[in-house]
């Protein structure tokens, strides 16, 4: 089949840049919120979540036509898993490339945010790995996976940008963990000892919970939208079918 997608290297650059900018938005707005409202944690969360909703929506619109705007290893992992039965979605080498690009981008985004606010890059001391936080990550990730792939399965992928932005914004508030729901972002946020950071000790639990959530989301998807595997090429934003090289 003639390739209609951008080559893999270009998609990897899009994933790296998109994830870097996403983390810089999350961390940067967290730093700004902490500086602007130092005594009001609720207002800090409102400022942080609002910036994330708007920024994520824009990033999906910009990078979606290039790479699918996954910005998230569990989204890429589920895309690969779904596509095995239909020959769609990411291949295994593409999956590995996406995951590496996303993780490198996330770390770079955290460093970039620190630099913009002239805050030294240091390892976060913010402990988040309580039982409630881990349960929240399972729920947040399962909901995110179900949303993204349900939109693709029902040919409503064009709504992904506002829908995913809205979901993450809501999940900031209805989950105790503030909805990381993303292993790459979780790793990137280690490198900012601010309102938005997470301590390295909390990361394995968070990533494990996110993987469990992804599996739960995949199970719900199979139950509710059995045709989802045939639309793996349309995640997150629809882009032409075919494999890059």
- What's the mean pLDDT in 93-118? 97
User: Does residue 190 lie within any of the structural domains?
Assistant: yes
Range of the domain at 161: 8-228
Q: What is the CATH number of the domain that holds 27?
A: 1.20.1080.10
* Residue 67 counted as domain residue: yes
pLDDT (tens digit per residue) in 137-174: 999 999 999 999 999 999 998 999 999 999 999 999 99
Please say if the pLDDT value at position 52 is more than 80: yes
pLDDT for 86: 78
pLDDT tops 60 at residue 77: yes
Does residue 241 sit within a domain? no
* In the predicted structure, residue 28 carries a pLDDT above the cut 70: yes
Is residue 129, in this structure, part of any structural domain at all? yes
Please indicate, yes or no, if residue 235 is contained in any of the structural domains: no
Residue 240 lies in a domain: no
- The confidence score (pLDDT) of residue 242 equals 45
pLDDT at 239: 57
Residue 244 in any domain: the answer is no
What region does 175 belong to: left with phi over 0, alpha with psi -120 to 50, or beta? beta
Q: Report pLDDT digits (tens) over 166-224.
A: 999 999 999 999 999 999 999 999 999 988 999 999 999 999 999 999 999 999 999 99
Please count the other Cβ atoms lying within 10 Å of the Cβ belonging to residue 224.
12
Task: Examine the pLDDT at 22 and tell me if it is beyond 90.
Answer: yes
The C-alpha atoms of residue 33 and residue 17 are separated, in whole angstroms, by 24
What mean pLDDT is predicted for residues 121-136?
94
Q: Enter the pTM of the model.
A: 0.93
In a domain, 148, yes or no: yes
Q: Where are the alpha helices (DSSP H) in the chain?
A: 8-36, 41-67, 73-83, 92-116, 131-153, 160-174, 183-188, 203-224
Question: Total domain count for the chain?
Answer: 1
**What pLDDT shows up at residue 201?**
96
């Amino acid at each position: 089949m003639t390739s209609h997608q951008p080559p893999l290297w270009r998609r990897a650059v899009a994933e790296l840049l998109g994830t870097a900018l996403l983390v810089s938005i999350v961390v940067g707005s967290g730093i700004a919120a902490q500086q602007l409202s130092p005594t009001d944690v609720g207002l800090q969360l409102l400022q942080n979540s609002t910036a994330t909703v708007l920024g994520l929506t824009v990033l999906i619109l910009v990078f979606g036509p290039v790479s699918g705007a996954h910005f998230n290893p569990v989204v890429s992992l589920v895309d690969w898993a779904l596509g095995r039965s239909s020959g769609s979605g990411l291949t295994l080498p593409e999956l590995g490339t996406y995951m590496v690009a996303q993780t490198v981008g996330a770390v770079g985004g955290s460093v970039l945010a620190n630099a913009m606010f002239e805050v030294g890059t240091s390892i976060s001391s913010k402990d988040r790995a309580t039982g409630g936080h881990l349960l929240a990550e399972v729920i947040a990730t399962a909901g995110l996976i179900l949303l993204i792939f349900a939109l693709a399965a029902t040919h409503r992928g064009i709504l992904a940008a506002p829908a995913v932005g809205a979901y993450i914004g809501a999940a900031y508030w209805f989950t105790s963990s503030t909805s990381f729901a993303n292993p790459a972002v979780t790793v990137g946020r280690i490198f900012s000892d601010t309102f938005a950071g997470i301590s390295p000790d909390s990361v394995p639990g968070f990533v494990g919970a996110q993987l469990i959530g992804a599996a739960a989301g995949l199970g719900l998807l199979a139950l509710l939208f059995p045709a989802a595997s045939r639309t793996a090429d349309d995640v997150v934003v629809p882009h032409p079918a075919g494999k890059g090289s």
